[in-house]
Amino acid sequence: MVGYKDERHIHIGWFSARMDTIANYVTARLTAILMILAALLLREDWRGAWRILWRDRKNTESLNAGWTMSAMAGALNVQLEKPGFYVLGDAEEDLSPEHIMRAIRVMGLAAILFSILIDFPILMVNALILNRWI
């Protein structure tokens, strides 16, 4: 996807960028909630994830990106920043390589929870429907 915002390239990729925003509107929010649940199960700061999510989710230019990034910042008690654009979370801890592994664990468990709560039921319903037609 290409989405330039400078005067010369503004018309290149705007449609695909908008479609991406629409397609990921629900999933970004669902992922943020699943990340908080994963943080709870992994004994990360799920309360901080919830608090930072609701406080900072609108700090990014993207309608979707702030949801997951702010939930992760809160879960790990770190501050994520793009200088001049946004700041998410509180700088309770300095970023370290350990935070990468913790973030991977949270995202991995969130993906597993998504599969259990969303994918698996959909697959089961599809299997039942297909068995009726065969």
pLDDT mean for each 10 residues of the chain (134 residues): 68 80 95 98 97 97 95 97 94 90 98 94 88 70
Q: How confident is the model at residue 134, as a pLDDT?
A: 60
Task: Kindly state the helix (H) or strand (E) to which residue 30 belongs, with its residue range.
Answer: helix 25-41
Q: How confident is the model at residue 91, as a pLDDT?
A: 84
Q: Convert the pLDDT of each residue in 104-130 to its tens digit.
A: 999 999 999 999 998 899 999 988 887
Each domain of the chain, given as residue ranges in start order, spans: 28-133
Q: How confident is the model at residue 108, as a pLDDT?
A: 98
The pTM of the full predicted model, rounded to 2 decimals, is 0.85
C-alpha to C-alpha distance for 81 and 79, rounded to whole angstroms: 6
